[in-house]
Each structure stands twice: as structure tokens, then as C-alpha cells.
Amino acid sequence: MGSEPGVGWNLARAIAQHHPVWVLTRADNRPFIEAELTQNPFPNLQFIYCDVPGSKFWNRSTKTVHLHHYLWQISAYATAKRLLPQMRWDVIHHITYVRYSSPSFLSLLPVPFVWGPVGGGEMAPLAFWEDFHLHARIYETLRYLAHRVGEADPFTRLTATRSVLVRATTKDTAERLQLMGAQKLELYSESGLSQEEIATLQAVLPPVSDTMRFISMARLLHWKGLHLGIRAFAETNLSNTEYWILGEGPERDRLQQLAKDLGVEKQVKFLGRLSRHETLNRLSESHVLLHPSLHDSGGWVCLEAMACGRPVVCLDLGGPAVQVTEETGFKITAESPEQAVRDLATAMVLLAKNADLRSRMGQAGQQRVQEQFSWEQKAKSLIQTYKSVVKN
């Protein structure tokens, strides 16, 4: 499924290649998990299902998902406490949700506890709020307040202080966790790819078209920063270029109007939401990924583009700033919208005019994904962490 379900499933499966793993998860995941295990059994992988009493009557929309998660953590604690005497786990690791401002009650058990990767401490720099409409500003304000309320929860602070290791997806989240009392902190991206995905993406051939194409793949939301991408594209003044935007969302009309106002509506192509196969085809026909998001904790698309050998131009914010290096792309400082647009455009022009630079960055990106972001490599790193935790 990708995203957070993909994090939990792929890490558990990769770790189970080396050690017995028990996964504590929601009861409504059971049919899907058991169907998969019937086709592809994993002897080292066992599942324990629990849920909130009456959960089958819940309507888990975006409005109630965090409340349900909080209550589920209490149910998970009760289940794990009951099973602990017979299971005798060496380490408990909370992998998802990847949310730093919600507690994990499993940290209260007398077992070494690893928390994360967790994220969410990022926010759009205030200077960029000038481009947001009223609903976007309300969203950002409520998001900020929700995280601060979560930070004040004594159980969230207990989770931070009782963790023998906390992994944060971004520098901003690490700073918030430090203020909450976390002692040992590491920066660690939650995103990853399987060896099969990496092999498929690395097999994508370079584009053969003479038209220089930039591509963005994201939901069309205000904080994805696509308005900055369109403004930067317009500022490049490059001939024979296109900017492809893949995805759907409430900002589409606004973004299309912006492209029209800037006189680039014929070059900016809104391709909508595509299947994964179609998305990879479009990525293979593009030269550079443009990802101007203002507060992504992850940024999976950056890894996919790097695995394809495409340079990435992003803002030096959130998860992409952890994934992308100066060898694999450009990370643009985000001081103001005007400065960011100008510097994004400069990077885009450099890449458009220098095929050798694109090739070098693309190769470096492929190497970085293979060495740092495969689930198998992540599992090996985690196993060493577990051994250190148990030893100490």
C-alpha cells in the first residue's frame, strides 16, 4: 500500500528474515495479512491482533483517525502486558504511526523501547504563509496547535523520556522531541524501497525527447508548494521545456489559473492522478523531479526519482532534506517565497543546460538509494541497533 502501511509491513518483513518478530496491529488488518501470508509465508513473522472495543462501529475518517489511534494504543498496551510473561520480548519497537505528538503506551512496559521513526514536527515557514488562502492558514494553525497539545500530553512525554532510542524523520521533529525530554536521538527517514522496486526503477531508461521536462508528483495541496514550482518554472524562461504535474487535489483550479496568469499554461501539463505504471512511464519521460514541498515528513517520491536516476530539486525542509544530498540534487534554502522561487529557477536552469550534471546526480542518487534506503539495508541497521539496546 505504500506510505505508513508500507513502512510497517516492509520493515517487519525485512527484520523477520533474521529474527522472530511479533507484530501488534489492528484487527481489521487481519484478512489482508492472512491472505498475503497464505501466498507468501514468513515463518519468523507472527501477528497479534487487537482493537478498540466497538471499533467495528467507528467511522474512521480523517477527523477521528487520531482519536482512534490514541485509544488503540491503550488497547495495545493491555494486550502486550497480558502476553509479556509468556512472550518475553527483548525489544519493543513502535514503527507506525509516524507521529511524534501521540504516545505509545507500550513504552510503559519493562522492556527496552525504541520509538520511531516519528515525524510531524515540521511546519511551513511563516514567510510562506503569505501565499496561503484562508482555509490553508486555518489548516496550518490547527495542525500546529494539535501537535502542541500532543506534546503537552504527559504520556507522550513519558514515551519520549522512557525510549532508549528515538528516531526522528526530520531535524524539526528532533528539536521538538529534545524539548520533550528525549535523550538519545537519531535522524532517520521512514521511507524505503524493496530490492524489487529498486531494480524496477533502476531499469527505467533515460528520456530520449529533446524537450526538457520537469515533473512533480504530489497531491495538489497548498503545503506541497506546487505554486512555487510553477512560479520557478515560469522564471526560468527556458525554451522547449515542459512541467508535468501528476496528482489531484483541491488546489488544481488555483494552480491552473496561476500557470495561465504567468503565461505558461501551454507548457504546464496537469496530468491528474495516474496508476503506478503510468506514473513510472511519465517519470521515465522526464529529466528532473521538482519537489517544492513545505513540510513533508517523508517524501517517498524523491526516493523513487533518485532510484530512477533523476536529479531532485527540493526545498531544504522536512524529509526530502534528509534524503537528498548535494551529490543527488539541489536543496534550496527556504527564507522567503521570492528567494525560494529564484533559487529553484536557478537550479532548474543549471540542470536543463548540463546533461553531464544530470547524469552524475542521477547515478549518485541510484547509489544512495541502494546503500541507504532499501528495506533490507534498513533492517540490517535496525538489527544492530536492537543488539546494542539489549546489550546495554
pLDDT of residue 56: 73
Binning the chain into helix, strand and coil, the percentages to the nearest 5 are 55, 15, 30
CA separation for the pair 220, 225 (Å, rounded): 9
CA separation for the pair 392, 389 (Å, rounded): 5
pLDDT of residue 58: 72
- Cell digits for 237? 524562461
Fold of 195-372: Rossmann fold (3.40.50)
pLDDT of residue 64: 81
CA separation for the pair 312, 365 (Å, rounded): 9
CB-based contact 149:73 (threshold 8 Å): no
pLDDT of residue 209: 83
pLDDT of residue 208: 83
CA distance from start to end of the chain: 36
Backbone angles phi, psi at 193, to 5 degrees: -135, 150
Peptide bond into 337 cis (omega under 30): no
Backbone angles phi, psi at 389, to 5 degrees: -65, -45
CA separation for the pair 359, 363 (Å, rounded): 6
pLDDT of residue 346: 97
pLDDT of residue 2: 61
> Comparing 3-192+374-391 with 195-372, is the CATH topology the same?
yes
Bridge partners of 25, per DSSP, are 49
pLDDT of residue 280: 86
Closest Cα partner for 11 from 99, 107, 98?
A: 98
pLDDT in tens, the chain (392 residues): 667 778 889 999 999 999 999 999 999 899 999 999 999 888 899 999 999 888 777 766 777 888 888 999 999 999 999 999 999 899 999 998 889 999 999 999 999 999 989 999 999 999 999 999 999 999 999 999 999 999 999 999 999 999 999 999 999 999 999 999 998 999 988 888 888 889 989 888 888 888 999 999 999 999 999 999 999 999 999 989 999 999 999 999 999 999 999 999 999 999 999 888 888 889 999 999 999 999 988 778 999 999 999 999 999 998 899 999 999 999 999 999 999 999 999 999 999 999 999 999 999 999 999 999 999 999 998 999 999 988 88
Domain boundaries, the chain: 3-192+374-391, 195-372
- Cell digits for 296? 513533508
Coil, strand, or helix at residue 228?
Answer: helix
The CATH class that applies to domain 3-192+374-391 reads: alpha beta
pLDDT of residue 30: 92
Coil, strand, or helix at residue 238?
Answer: coil
pLDDT of residue 275: 87
For residue 24, give Cα distances in angstroms to 112, 123, 178: 16, 31, 27
Closest Cα partner for 197 from 88, 49, 300?
A: 300
Closest Cα partner for 288 from 247, 238, 348?
A: 348
pLDDT of residue 31: 93
Closest Cα partner for 14 from 88, 95, 72?
A: 95
Using alpha carbons only, give the angle 111, 73, 71 rounded to the nearest 5 degrees. 155
CA separation for the pair 53, 72 (Å, rounded): 9
- How far is CA 155 from its chain centroid? 25
